[in-house]
Structure 1
Amino acid sequence: MMPSVYGLSTEPTVIITGYKISPDVILPNEVGTIEVTIANTAMQASKTATESVGSDEDPFAQSITVPVNAFIESATLKTTDFTVLSGWYQDIGEIGPGQSTTLTFLVQAPGREGLFFPEVWIRVRGAESVKYPIPVNVNTRHTLIKQPSIRLSRSIPGNITPGSFFDVTLELQNEGLASAHDIIVEIITPNTSLSSQSPERQFIRELKSGDIKTVTLSFQSDNDIPIGIRQIPVRISYLNADGTRLIQNEQVGILIQGMGELGIAKQILDPEQVYLGDMFSLVCRIENTGTDKAKSVRATLDIPFDGTKEAFVGTIGPDNDAPAVFTLKATQAGDIPFHLTIRYKDDFGLHEEVIPLHVFVGEQNGSGMIIILVLVLLAGAGFLYWRRQRQP
């Protein structure tokens, strides 16, 4: 059986940590280079996931450690002003946590002077792509005004369920060359299924170049929130060096995962009264009171009777039930205790529920003796009636 992995978090992506233009000022129609340094955003070398291993009949869960490398599929320089002579990168490969690499683009400047902003486009497998403008000076005396640049990092828990409380940590880092002032972080809850439990507007007086500020936000999800990815809009505004207020719109994606929760809705015996030596059916209706499907549902009995003690139920949706049918022969009399064990899977892995039950078995089925006694009584009554009819 191939292992199946559950609970993996979002794939890492990359950021541009620096660039270099050579020469610093390029003449019109002159050839120059643009070097860009990119790094993996992951802060640790591995992450933990849960996998299901073993046979279909007896699966179990175990933790494994997998790397969090960022695989770069392509990197290109998008521009309508420069001619890119070389630097079309395809399938660059993986960058591990804490690692970086440098990409070099050979370009020819346009024939006119000015300040231009070619964009570096980086595509990362399974994650958000990166677009970053690079300022290039083509024989102009204009100097770049130092500006703040705020990068938003998100830390999101991986076990958000309907009706739960959870915290989202936002990390704001000023990667620009100037301080950002009067920073406002505003949360816009998209609907009533997701409500903010903390102030929706956070204020930061100043964030100097290179500084990092952490903001923790608390939320509660409604019991009826749909399963899947939900986006929380975040608006960041701040003042730059010349007093202009800049607005930066971000999104915080959270994954709402449902859980299966199984129990017994009803226990049915057929026949209702069981005697020693009888064959009978035990039907346990298993209900799902959770918020997501319960898959691969399997029920087993540890009752000391002969017969079928295992039933495969399959998938049970939320607010639904399904029967687990067992055919048994009563080999012991009395009040017999036993356990029903239910095993199933959902988005959080494998689960097991053990439910105590009991069944009463009579000493002996006396229906045959009763019939014989009734026949004897009827025969005796008939004989007495016949004798009386013959008497004068």
Structure 2
Amino acid sequence: MLILHSKFHFLLIFLMFALILPTSGLAAISQEPGVIITSYSISPNVILPGEIGTIEVTIANTASQASKTASEISGTEPDSVSQSVTLPVNAFIESAILKTKDFQILSGWYEDIGEIGPGQSTTLTFLVQAPIKEGLYFPEVWIRVRGAESVKYPIPVNINTRHTLIKQPSIRLSRSTPTNIIPGSAFDIELGLTNEGLSGAHDLIIAIETPNTSLSSKSPERQFIQMLEPGQTKKINLSFQTDNDIPIGIRQIPVRISYMNADGTELEQRERIGIVIQGTADLGISKQTLDPEQIAEGDMFNLVCRIENTGTDKAKTVRATLDIPFEGTKEAFVGTIRPDNDAPAVFTLKATKSGDISYTMKIEYQDDFGIHEETIPLHIFAQEKNGTGIIIFILAVVLIIAGLLYWRKSYS
């Protein structure tokens, strides 16, 4: 009888708990968020031993809509109703590091990066210094996500080796340029494209980008090569035109090369063609003056010749020398004359003869192309000092007048 009473007491307690339970409940079915590495890039593609490069990885949420789904049950049996509620959940990245024993990590320790929402992605960059030994290395990216599994992803990095995961083309650009280019002149450049890779490249487009209006392309700015097999080289000839305003020095012509590899992936690389613009000096006489303006035989005077530079580069160590049948200083050192400028060459002379005197001035100067020499013909007029010519002229006029008077008197 005592045993029956205990069983009845237990059943009563069970029924009381069943009545106390709420008429609605929540059964949760959770789907925790996570991330994956969708892509990576290495710059440069092949890193030299001991050099610095970058490794970029792009991480994204695992689904277009990360969510938690909960089933809500309301009512009592047998009239209970079940419905689901979807709640968006972001992936919180706690840390991201590049795990390696071979590379030296210069920057790229990420802590508490934050949340990545559904369908979103972010890019992380690691600055590394390559090991001294050549080879193919696999540093790992470790990503820790709060409430989800961590991600470990190996990144293949090529340290100056031809062994790659997939055979790809490798285009090397060679250049043949003029030694010196003068402003205002045309010039030609020969480009050589060599495929040093392990597979062919097709549909190559070589785009020339002229940097300013002082340099223009006379050839089509887009060249096309249908196929470039491994070890094959093809030449492209380009023509350019400069104007007189192009700056002196080294100019860069950007070149963009795009091509397709064997699996149809489009690749692109950017190159530059360096050219040297060197101007030339061009000297001449712009003006000649005498002090005093009129000279006679035996006079001392100053001869001033202004030497102008109409070229595109400065003239250095300018020196002027006279070849004239006068006495005095016949050599003058001028120095440097910049483009579109002039400078005086001053000579102190004594006129030792009269008449229209022809002479020459030899100008020596130096520019980036070497030493040059110009000889310019000139002339000076010097009067006779004793005035004999004037006296003869006056006597001639007097004789003419006297003759006219005599003829008139005889006629009368």
Give the TM-score of the pair, scaled to structure 2. 0.58
Q: Does the 8 Å contact 2:192/2:233 carry over to 1?
A: yes
Give, in angstroms, the shift of residue 278 of structure 1. 1.2
Summarize the Cα distance change of 1:190–1:361 in structure 2 as closer, same or farther, 3 Å threshold.
Answer: same
Q: Are 1:117 and 2:157 matched, yes or no?
A: yes
Q: Are 1:134 and 2:108 matched, yes or no?
A: no
Give, in angstroms, the shift of residue 155 of structure 1. 1.1
Cα distance in 2, alignment partners of residues 356 and 178 from structure 1: 68
Structure number with greater CO (CA < 8 Å, separation at least 6) is 1
Among candidates 310, 329, 353, match of residue 308 of structure 1: 329
- Aligned residue number for residue 340 of structure 2: 319
Q: Which has the higher helix share?
A: 2
Cα distance in 1, alignment partners of residues 183 and 51 from structure 2: 43
Q: Secondary structure at the match of 2:169?
A: coil
1:223-266 C-alpha deviation (Å, 9 max, x unpaired): 21122222111011111010111111111121211211110000
Give, in angstroms, the shift of residue 366 of structure 1. 3.7
Higher mean displacement: 311-320 or 74-83: 74-83
Superposed counterparts of 1:1-392, under 5 Å: 76=50, 81=100, 83=102, 105=133, 116-119=156-159, 133-134=160-161, 144-366=165-387
Amino acid in the other structure paired with 2:271:
E
Cα distance in 1, alignment partners of residues 213 and 137 from structure 2: 53
Summarize the Cα distance change of 1:365–1:172 in structure 2 as closer, same or farther, 3 Å threshold.
Answer: farther
1:329-387 C-alpha deviation (Å, 9 max, x unpaired): 112233222110111111212111110111122232549x99xxxxxxxxxxxxxxxxx
Give, in angstroms, the shift of residue 83 of structure 1. 3.4
Give, in angstroms, the shift of residue 271 of structure 1. 2.0
Identity of aligned residues (%): 64
Cα distance in 2, alignment partners of residues 107 and 184 from structure 1: 31
Cα distance in 1, alignment partners of residues 347 and 374 from structure 2: 18
Cα distance in 2, alignment partners of residues 108 and 243 from structure 1: 24
Gaps of 5+ in 2: 1-47, 54-98, 104-131, 141-152, 392-412
Cα distance in 1, alignment partners of residues 138 and 171 from structure 2: 31
Cα distance in 2, alignment partners of residues 225 and 254 from structure 1: 12
Give, in angstroms, the shift of residue 299 of structure 1. 0.6
Summarize the Cα distance change of 1:115–1:302 in structure 2 as closer, same or farther, 3 Å threshold.
Answer: same
Summarize the Cα distance change of 1:135–1:150 in structure 2 as closer, same or farther, 3 Å threshold.
Answer: closer
Cα distance in 1, alignment partners of residues 314 and 379 from structure 2: 28
* Off by >4 Å, runs of 4+ in structure 1: 77-80, 106-115
Rg larger in 1 or in 2? 2
Cα distance in 1, alignment partners of residues 233 and 207 from structure 2: 18
Summarize the Cα distance change of 1:195–1:326 in structure 2 as closer, same or farther, 3 Å threshold.
Answer: same
Q: Does the 8 Å contact 1:115/1:135 carry over to 2?
A: no
Cα distance in 1, alignment partners of residues 240 and 136 from structure 2: 51
Aligned residues: 260
Cα distance in 1, alignment partners of residues 322 and 251 from structure 2: 41
Summarize the Cα distance change of 1:77–1:270 in structure 2 as closer, same or farther, 3 Å threshold.
Answer: closer
Summarize the Cα distance change of 1:207–1:327 in structure 2 as closer, same or farther, 3 Å threshold.
Answer: same
Gaps of 5+ in 1: 1-73, 85-103, 120-132, 137-142, 371-392
Cα distance in 2, alignment partners of residues 241 and 182 from structure 1: 11
